[in-house]
Amino acid sequence: MSELTDGVIVLRPWHTDDAEWYATQSNDVEIQRNTAEPAHLTAAPVAEEIARYAADPRYPGWAICEADSGELLGNAGVDLAHGEVSYWVAAAARGRGIATRAVRLMAAYAFEISELEELRLWVKPGNAGSARVARKAGFTRAPELDNDVAIRDEVWRAEYYRMTRDAAHISAASHRTIVDGRLILP
Ligand SMILES: CC(C)(COP(=O)(O)OP(=O)(O)OC[C@H]1O[C@@H](n2cnc3c(N)ncnc32)[C@H](O)[C@@H]1OP(=O)(O)O)[C@@H](O)C(=O)NCCC(=O)NCCS
* Tally of domains within the chain: 1
Q: What confidence tens digit (pLDDT) does each residue in 128-148 have?
A: 999 999 999 999 999 999 999
Q: Is residue 183 included in any domain, yes or no?
A: no
Per-residue pLDDT for 46 more than 60? yes
32 CA distance to ligand 1 middle (Å) = 15
**Which CATH number goes with the domain that contains 95?**
3.40.630.30
What atom of ligand 1 comes closest to residue 88's alpha carbon?
Answer: 39
User: Residue 132 — φ and ψ, nearest 5°?
Assistant: -70, -40
Q: What confidence tens digit (pLDDT) does each residue in 71-129 have?
A: 999 999 999 999 999 999 999 999 999 999 999 999 999 998 899 999 999 999 999 99
Q: Is residue 181 included in any domain, yes or no?
A: no
Q: Is residue 179 included in any domain, yes or no?
A: no
User: 88, 127, 139: which to mutate for ligand 1, most atoms within 8 A of CB?
Assistant: 88
104 CA distance to ligand 1 middle (Å) = 14
